[in-house]
Amino acid sequence: MPNYAWICYTCKAVNDPSDIACRTCGFPAEATGKQIEEAVTGIKQPPSQSSKELRRQRQAELAALPAWKKPLAYFLYAVQFFAALILWAGIFNLTMSLVLIGIASLTVAEVLYQLLKGKTGDQQTAAPQLPPVVRR
């Protein structure tokens, strides 16, 4: 608990030092940075995904690809792997050209993969329907 009168980030109410949460809205006195950012901006941040969740998501995307796109997707994965090796080699050798080549290769491979993947089912939106034209 703070040792001073504090102001709530959400409702701007003044609270006593002994309060562990805002008396008006219930916002905690000792909030995390994420909670404060969400309160100040009003934008709810989605929870971050773990590396296992990201790996599962990538595997699901790969499984959803048609058979003719899968070899190219695996090739792009290999390009990303070797680009990461080039990037790390550039970092450890302090060679800016290798670092830039690695970053460019990673970026191009990821963009090509996203283009190859296309829009998923939840990203696709139907074309807006125009109202019928009434002729008099």
pLDDT at 133: 66
Specify if 130 maps to a domain: no
- Do 19 and 57 belong to one domain? no
Are the C-beta atoms of residues 63 and 70 closer than 8 Å to each other?
A: no
Note whether 70 and 108 are same-domain residues.
yes
Query: Average pLDDT for residues 50-79, to the nearest whole number?
Result: 90
Span 25-34, average pLDDT: 86
Shared domain check, 78 and 60: yes
Highest mean pLDDT among 9-18, 52-61, 77-86: 77-86
Q: What predicted TM-score, i.e. pTM, was given to this entire model?
A: 0.53
Residue 130: pLDDT band by 50, 70, 90 thresholds?
Answer: low
Overall domain count for the chain:
2
Task: Determine the pLDDT at residue 73.
Answer: 92
Instruction: Note whether residue 135 is domain-resident.
Output: no
**Host domain of residue 25:** 6-41
Whether residue 135 has pLDDT greater than 60: yes
Structure tokens at 38: 């969400």
The per-residue pLDDT for 104 is 95
- 7-16 — which CB contacts under 8 Å span 24+ positions? 9/36, 9/39, 9/40, 10/39
Residues 33 and 62 in one domain: no
Same domain flag for 37 and 56:
no
DSSP three-state, residue 131: coil
Residue 34 shares a structural domain with residue 72:
no
Report pLDDT for 1.
Answer: 59
Domain-located, residue 133: no
Element (H, E) at 76: helix 70-93
φ, ψ (nearest 5 deg) of residue 85:
-60, -45
